[in-house]
Amino acid sequence: MNRLEKALMHALFVHLHHNIEQAIDFDAFARLNQKVSQMWPDSVLIGPEDNDDAAVMRFPGESGALVAKMESHCSPCVPRPYAGAATGAGGAMRDVVAMGARPLFLLDFVGTAPLDEEVVVGPCGFDGQCTCGECETMTSGERLNLLIEGIRDMCETMGVFVVGGGLSTSLTGPVPAVVAAVIGQMVVDEPLTKPAKAAGDQIIMIGETGNDGNDTLYRAGLVDEMSPAKALFEEEKVTQKASLAALKTGRINACSDLGAAGIGAAVCESARFGGFGARVKLDAAPLRVSELTPEEIMICETQARMLMQLPREHVDEVIEAAVSQGAKAAVIGEITDDDHSVFTYRGTEVARIPNNPTPEQIAKVTQ
């Protein structure tokens, strides 16, 4: 097992971001929803137990469906309050798009220390004292303004209403609470879901990959410095328009936002949840910067990107729809009948991730 495989397998099978069910009993919510559905049948189409990008529901008696997603982005707001809040809102919007909907409304919750308390903003923010010389000391109230501005500016760019939220100024510690909930309206007949649907389906990436958002690489010791994901406002707008245009072709079988652990996690989860494998050519991915390592292409969490799967015969139609909105789009791989996902770079295999790792493999990952 090489270091790249270890890093991605830790993200997929150990880290709670991709394994929420280890901390929360989703079956309890499923039982609750089944009970409530006796009063309101067929109201929840995709619930928490489905472990997908967002929830899908409809009002009783209505035919159209809504999509909702809540996402926290607390730790990224310590070094970069404005960008961290903006990328949290943007990420929740992409999750809504991934289910086949256009984001329309946002509610936010922000929690912080008392407004007159001093906080350190920058790389040393978690320590509460700057030793790098690059941080800024400000009041919690000033940081609060940056958090709100980040959410507001992303919503303005994306044409999303801010309709409510909440605020607490009683938190302790260096990390603020930053949570965004986004609600959107379905633009396709049936909700899209993350699991792969058929071997042979082509994997299309919309948007461009950079070397920012390298948290997974940093935790694995593959890079020396953490570089949080940058807020990409206009790029998010273009990617959303391109993604919606692609979805409206009716050709997409599966869709997923590119979030934590990037292309690697999105491909592996989709393949595994569908009972398939995948083969991905990392050097086929559109790049934001000219030279990236295969590790960066595979795992970095650059914003404004989506993955879609569709039959080979419809690739040209879907790429044309995405490109017509000003986005970069390319085929980067395909779904296979295997029980693992393989990632290559310039013809050389760089990672092979099993759908069901053995206890011995998990033990190596956690060492």
**234 and 348 assigned to the same domain:** yes
Say if 362 falls within a structural domain. yes
| Per-residue pLDDT tens over the stretch 246-260 | 999 999 999 999 988
**153 and 268 assigned to the same domain:** no
**Tell me, what DSSP letter sits at residue 48?**
G
Say if 84 falls within a structural domain. yes
Confidence of residue 262 (pLDDT cuts 50, 70, 90): very high
Residue 8 has pLDDT above 80, yes or no: yes
Residue 225 has pLDDT above 80, yes or no: no
Q: What is the mean pLDDT of residues 351-362?
A: 96
**207 and 180 assigned to the same domain:** no
**153 and 235 assigned to the same domain:** no
In whole numbers, what is the pLDDT of the chain averaged over residues?
94
**62 and 182 assigned to the same domain:** yes
Burial (CB count within 10 angstroms: exposed 0-12, middle 13-18, buried 19+), residue 64: exposed
Helix (H, G, I), strand (E, B) or coil at 265: helix
Confidence of residue 61 (pLDDT cuts 50, 70, 90): confident
Q: Give 337 or 3, the one with higher predicted confidence.
A: 337
pLDDT at residue number 69: 97
Say if 1 falls within a structural domain. no
**217 and 248 assigned to the same domain:** yes
- Measured from the Cβ of residue 166, the count of other Cβ atoms closer than 10 Å reads 11
**216 and 79 assigned to the same domain:** no
Q: How far apart are CA 359 and CA 367, in angstroms?
A: 12
pLDDT at residue number 19: 85
| Per-residue pLDDT tens over the stretch 150-175 | 999 999 999 999 999 999 999 999 99
Domain holding 179, by residue range, is 53-186
Maximum pairwise Cα distance, the chain: 60
Say if 248 falls within a structural domain. yes
Q: How far apart are CA 195 and CA 274, in angstroms?
A: 4
pLDDT at residue number 315: 98
Confidence of residue 213 (pLDDT cuts 50, 70, 90): confident
| Per-residue pLDDT tens over the stretch 112-123 | 999 999 999 998
| Per-residue pLDDT tens over the stretch 276-323 | 999 999 999 999 988 899 999 999 999 999 999 999 999 999 999 999
Q: What is the mean pLDDT of residues 328-343?
A: 98
pLDDT at residue number 175: 95
pLDDT at residue number 179: 98
CATH at residue 181:
3.30.1330.10
**154 and 282 assigned to the same domain:** no
**67 and 93 assigned to the same domain:** yes
**240 and 113 assigned to the same domain:** no
Say if 32 falls within a structural domain. no
pTM of the model as a whole: 0.95
Residue 90 has pLDDT above 90, yes or no: yes
Say if 335 falls within a structural domain. yes
Number of structural domains the chain divides into: 2
Most confident of 7-11, 95-99, 220-224: 95-99
**Structural domain ending residue among the three candidates 127, 158, 186:** 186
Tokens of 130: 């700057």
Say if 2 falls within a structural domain. no
**213 and 346 assigned to the same domain:** yes
**109 and 170 assigned to the same domain:** yes
Instruction: Report the DSSP beta bridge partners of residue 101.
Output: 186
Say if 19 falls within a structural domain. no
**Structural domain ending residue among the three candidates 152, 186, 220:** 186
pLDDT at residue number 21: 87
CATH at residue 296:
3.90.650.10
